[in-house]
Structure 1
Amino acid sequence: MNISDLICLLTIAEERSISKAAKKLFMAQSSLSQSLQEIESELGSRLFVRTSTGVRLTPAGEQMIAYAEHALVDYRQVRNQIQDMEELKAGKVEFGVSTFRGSYLIPKVLRLFKKKYPNIQVEITEANSMELEQHLIAGQIDLALIVLPLMKLKSDVKVWLKDEVCLAVSSDHPVLEYAKETEKNGKMYQYVDLEDAVEFEYVLSGYDTVLGNIARNEFKKREIKPKVYNANLTAFFAASMARSGLGMAFTYASCKENYEDVTYLSIGREGIYLDLALAFPPDGYRSKAARALEACFLSSEFLKE
């Protein structure tokens, strides 16, 4: 059994489906099924029970997954220490970020990093902030951009950017009749009070996402029962729906798109803000490559991009 086998087992356990795991691993389902059969044959025990909805771990499988998690953490730490001997001339950083935010913020950082360290590979894991915390705790990634406050992670973080949660609406949406203006840092912004928008529909992200949580908490705080057109969309899909006039969507100011058919509104006069932070695994080895990527995030060169 090798490292690739352990990664396959962990992915099947995480996805609870061989077909979903195969897709995530860029493998044919038949190849992954065969690999699993060979591993189970080598161990002499079934690790997963096939069900109508996917797979679940057997007691032997739970024990094997616990071993795999610890083994991969140890492997990555040793790998990072060995790569550090190359003094940033080679190596790899496993970096975590949400798909929505990553598509807007990360390419500029990676361009700067690649310019400085052309032989270091950055492998990206896309997941929401709550999942990324778990990946850091498990030692599966070296660095992540997450939203504060922390939910599970117990480690130091570096605040990188203050982001605003705002509403994306189509430019002809009737809610704009209720929009007001306020000044922030010498610029004029439009905002709307959620109480003034109770008659309009929303498209929301899921409960297990930061945006989905923020939206529902704001409604609860104001004792508002929103009209919801869809309630479990990705942030990107929700914003696209809003552009088309199919409801209002919560989004991030850092992910604004400059289209003529969309308007962004602050929520309330004071707005709603959150901190984006760079986080490392707790008590883990911080490789030189991971620290170099962190430095690119924090550098003045990036801020001028």
Structure 2
Amino acid sequence: MDDRDWLILHTLFNEKSITKAGQVLFIAQPTLTKRLKQIETEFGVKIVNRGVKGVQFTPEGEYLAKRAEELLSTFREIREEIDNFNHYVAGTLRIGVSNFISKYKLPGWLKLFKEQYPDVECQIETGYSKHISTIAYTQDIHIGIIRGDYNWPGEKVLLFEEELCVASSEKIDLNDLPALPRIDYQTDLLYKHIADNWWAERFSQPSLIGITVDRGDTCKEMVLNGLGYAILPSLFFSKQDAVFKIPLATLDGAPITQKTWMVYHKEAEELNVVKAFVEFIKQMDTENE
């Protein structure tokens, strides 16, 4: 078996579907099925059973899939260390970013970074900040960029701080909010707690949720189309957006903000590619001050 075979087992175990695994790996389903049978023949065991609910791994297959994850991690570390023997910056950089950052910030950063370091391959994982913090801690990624003050035991660099605001397509009064339709969206629990605490300080009744969506940028479009107000980070909106914004503040007048951090383990900087990206982002942060 080669590392491609181990990748097949790992992907199939995660996807639980030959069709989906083939799509992820860009392998035709008949080719993937044939290769899986060859792996079964090589080890002399049945690896999966196929049914109406997809593939089910046998005990032997589950063991091989878990070992596949370990071996793929080892292969990846070997490649990174070999790349690191050279003094130039090359290799694979694994970054995890919050959904907001992946759309509004990361593309511009990567464009400039790749111009400086064209031999770097970037693998990006997106998700809620809690998830990104977790996979950064377990070192499934080199660097995480998260929003909110999550506990972090390693290196932590503040990238920027933004206001939270009530946003509407027309001018509104904060005192009228309980009677106005609100657009809500799924987001990180830390951000939700900030907004909920602000509301609880000011109002005794719950907000009037008229629409619930799954993403912040969808929520923004609802606001711009006059379907209600929303509580959103100010960076969702550009100067060209026709929106009325009221910054959130505590009852004593202190602004309510959200911070965005770059997090990583100190030892990750031993890799040239990680060190280069950390220094690049720090430099970007300095230039924006």
Please state which band the TM-score falls in when normalised by the shorter chain: 0.7 to 0.9
Aligned amino acid, residue 203 of structure 1: I
**Cα–Cα, structure 1 residues 177 and 301, in superposed 2: closer, same or farther, change >3 Å?**
closer
**Cα–Cα, structure 1 residues 273 and 142, in superposed 2: closer, same or farther, change >3 Å?**
same
Which piece of structure 1 moves more, 22-31 or 232-241? 22-31
SS, match of residue 164 in structure 1:
strand
TM superposition score normalised by structure 2 = 0.77
**Cα–Cα, structure 1 residues 260 and 236, in superposed 2: closer, same or farther, change >3 Å?**
closer
SS, match of residue 198 in structure 1:
helix
Does the 8 Å contact 1:48/1:61 carry over to 2? no
Q: Which residue of 1 aligns with 2:172?
A: 177
Q: Deviations over 1:285-305 (max 9, x none)?
A: 741111111111110586249
User: Higher Cα Rg: structure 1 or 2?
Assistant: 2
Does the 8 Å contact 1:93/1:120 carry over to 2? yes
**Cα–Cα, structure 1 residues 282 and 297, in superposed 2: closer, same or farther, change >3 Å?**
closer
After the TM superposition, which residues 111-260 of structure 1 pair with which residues of structure 2 at under 5 Å, given as runs? Answer: 111-150=111-150, 154-170=153-169, 172=170, 176-178=171-173, 192=174, 196-206=176-186, 211-212=191-192, 214-216=194-196, 218-219=198-199, 224-260=205-241
SS, match of residue 145 in structure 1:
strand
Q: Point out where structure 1 has 5 or more consecutive residues left out of the alignment.
A: 179-191
SS, match of residue 299 in structure 1:
helix
Q: Deviations over 1:31-84 (max 9, x none)?
A: 6666666656655244577564x6676655554444333333333322221111
SS, match of residue 87 in structure 2:
coil
Q: Which residue of 2 aligns with 1:287?
A: 271
1:156 to partner: Cα distance: 3.1
Aligned amino acid, residue 177 of structure 1: I
RMSD: 3.6
**Cα–Cα, structure 1 residues 258 and 143, in superposed 2: closer, same or farther, change >3 Å?**
same
Aligned amino acid, residue 197 of structure 1: L
Q: Deviations over 1:213-260 (max 9, x none)?
A: 544454466654222234341121111122112233333233322334
- Quick one: distance in 2 between partners of 1:36 and 1:223? 60
- Quick one: distance in 2 between partners of 1:55 and 1:227? 45
Which piece of structure 1 moves more, 156-165 or 32-41? 32-41
Does the 8 Å contact 2:269/2:275 carry over to 1? no
- Quick one: distance in 2 between partners of 1:48 and 1:155? 43
After the TM superposition, which residues 23-102 of structure 1 pair with which residues of structure 2 at under 5 Å, given as runs? Answer: 39=39, 44-47=45-48, 52=53, 59-60=59-60, 62-102=62-102
Aligned amino acid, residue 210 of structure 2: Y
- Quick one: distance in 1 between partners of 2:188 and 2:32? 29
- Quick one: distance in 2 between partners of 1:101 and 1:127? 10
Does the 8 Å contact 2:148/2:190 carry over to 1? no
- Quick one: distance in 1 between partners of 2:61 and 2:204? 45
Which piece of structure 1 moves more, 249-258 or 10-19? 10-19
Which piece of structure 1 moves more, 203-212 or 263-272? 203-212
**Cα–Cα, structure 1 residues 224 and 81, in superposed 2: closer, same or farther, change >3 Å?**
farther
| Identical counterparts, % of pairs | 23
**Cα–Cα, structure 1 residues 38 and 130, in superposed 2: closer, same or farther, change >3 Å?**
farther
- Quick one: distance in 2 between partners of 1:144 and 1:116? 21
The count of aligned residue pairs is 284
1:145 to partner: Cα distance: 0.6
**Cα–Cα, structure 1 residues 167 and 75, in superposed 2: closer, same or farther, change >3 Å?**
farther
Aligned amino acid, residue 205 of structure 1: Y
Q: Which residue of 2 aligns with 1:188?
A: none
- The structure carrying a bigger helix percent of its residues is 2
- Quick one: distance in 2 between partners of 1:74 and 1:47? 24
**Cα–Cα, structure 1 residues 115 and 17, in superposed 2: closer, same or farther, change >3 Å?**
same
Does the 8 Å contact 2:148/2:191 carry over to 1? no
